[in-house]
Amino acid sequence: MNNLKLLNQSEVKKILTMKDVLQAVEDAFGSWGRGEVQMPPKSYLIFDEQNGDLRSMPAYLPGKNAGVKIVTVHPDNTSQGLPTVMALCVLNDPNTGFPVAVMDAGLLTAVRTGAAGGVASKWLAKEGSSEIGLIGSGVQAQYQIEAHLDFMNIDHIKISDPNKQATKDLSDWIKKKDSSIDISVTDIKNACDCDVLITTTPVRNPIVMDSMIVRPHTHINAIGADAEGKQEIEGNLVKRSNVIVDDWTQTSHSGEINVPCHEGWFTKDMVAGEIGTIVAEADSSFKNVLTIFDSTGLAIQDMATANIVLKKAIEKGMGIDWSPLK
């Protein structure tokens, strides 16, 4: 039956659970580490006059539908009542090339990004970690916390963000999730004194300074840098940390280490490891040292998650079936 499944964001939201996505992303990282997947580097179209860009992210995990995610990032969209990030995912049957699904991937992107941070902390954070610091309290901070709640016993969350309303909204959401968690709204320096630090800001000048990280085992999920020129973490802190990347090509181009790489002092041989290899080899050797996970987001995360959405949509009879060949 040559039908394509069309799924909008509300349908994707009804289907996705963080637990499912955590497992899918972890499995995808493992496959990446074992060299089982095809994933060309992310490509960019830059719209300088419009202050935006379009990114193309194809991937294929054996045994699943292949596909591509097209994502746009336009920071000024809020003034027009549109999301900053919008995305579509297209899945194709690798046996015939037939397109089997087109789905909204905005929410999918947010959830799998949160899941990637959770997987990284699972493998890199010290055992028994219970205190999280958040720099930034936007939507992605929520998904990061949701992922960490799945495997981590969180006692205390420190939040730093000048946006008081966003901080209040996040605090209220956390309390609804788990009322036993102690929440502090504080400055960046105090928030950095934690077991797991999560940064989700789009800044171009570092805000997490070397002197702010005082615990020798702190694990940092650097999520915010997703384009050239963005940088949340001071260079001296990068130098003394064990830097774990999701993919060298992407992180050196547009991840947290992109500025140090472009300045010439950070090179590939300074990378302590790749998250895919760590998952594939069940490597727990980084748990008691200072680590930074440079997360740019991989197409394998999108394809793994999109395949879950399609499978469950078919089971539940959700979405619109459409024949593109008629």
Q: What is the structure's pLDDT at 75?
A: 83
- Whether 144 contacts 114, CB under 8 Å: yes
Q: Per residue in 251-292, pLDDT tens? A: 999 999 999 999 999 999 999 999 999 999 999 999 999 999
Percent of the chain clearing pLDDT 90 (strictly above):
94
The strand pairing partners of 54, in sequence order, are 45, 72
**287 given a catalytic annotation:** no
For 323, other C-beta atoms within 10 Å of its C-beta total 9
Please compute, for residue 191, the number of CA atoms within 13 A of its CA located in the half-sphere on the CB side. 23
- Tens-place pLDDT, residues 86-121: 999 999 999 999 999 999 999 999 999 999 999 999
Q: Please state whether beta strands 66-73 and 320-322 pair in parallel, antiparallel, or not at all (unpaired).
A: unpaired
The predicted-structure confidence for 167-176, as pLDDT tens digits, reads as follows 999 999 999 9
Give me the domains of the chain, ranges plus CATH numbers. Answer: 4-109+300-322 (3.30.1780.10), 120-296 (3.40.50.720)
Give Cβ neighbours of residue 316 (< 8 Å, ≥ 6 apart). Answer: 15
Average pLDDT over residues 36-62: 94
Report percent pLDDT > 70 for the chain: 100
**Mean pLDDT score, 240-245:** 98
Q: How many CB atoms neighbour CB 68 within 10 A?
A: 18
CA–CA gap between residue 7 and residue 10 (Å, rounded): 8
- The 10s digit of each residue's pLDDT in 53-64 is 999 999 999 999
Could you give the CA distance from residue 268 to residue 276 in angstroms, rounded to a whole number?
A: 16
Contact of 169 with 156, CB cutoff 8 Å = no
User: What is the model's pLDDT at position 72?
Assistant: 94
Mean pLDDT of the chain: 96
Residue type, 322: W
Check 5, 42, 64, 69 and give the catalytic one.
Answer: 69
Assign 290 to helix, strand or coil: coil
> Tokens standing for 243?
């830097």
> Span 305-310, mean pLDDT?
98
- 291 is written with which tokens? 């680590």
**pTM, entire model:** 0.95
